[in-house]
Amino acid sequence: MEQELMELQERAINDEALRARLLKTRTEKYPLRAFCDLCRELGYNKITVGELMSAGDEFCSAMLRSVNGGGVEAPDGWNDFYEMFFEAIVK
């Protein structure tokens, strides 16, 4: 899933129309679901609500385990791939 998200992020950075479509999902009643629906429409079938939530948690946990002696607390936002995606594509 992370590879698809990175690929989509790169496309969105370079394609203003795609970026606008992705940003528009944030105004929907269920923005995360709208985002994932658009991802699937674009052929990114591994980007789902469940995958986004679990990937962020898994990434954060792996980062904390990698700290010698173990990290105590992760910085805010490390586990939110959805928000990090939009931060990256907004210029």
Per-residue pLDDT of 14-53, as tens digits, reads 999 999 999 999 999 999 999 999 999 999 999 999 898 8
| Mean per-residue pLDDT over the chain, rounded | 84
What is the pTM for the complete model shown? 0.77
CB 26 within 8 A of CB 86: yes
> What is the tally of structural domains in the chain?
1
Mean pLDDT over 82-86 rounds to 90
Q: How confident is the model at residue 84 (pLDDT cuts 50, 70, 90)?
A: confident
Res 73: pLDDT: 59
Domain of 40 in residue numbering reads as: 2-89
CB 9 within 8 A of CB 85: yes
Helix axes 31-41, 16-24, angle to 10 degrees: 140
* CA proximity to 38, closest of 62, 70, 64, 4: 4
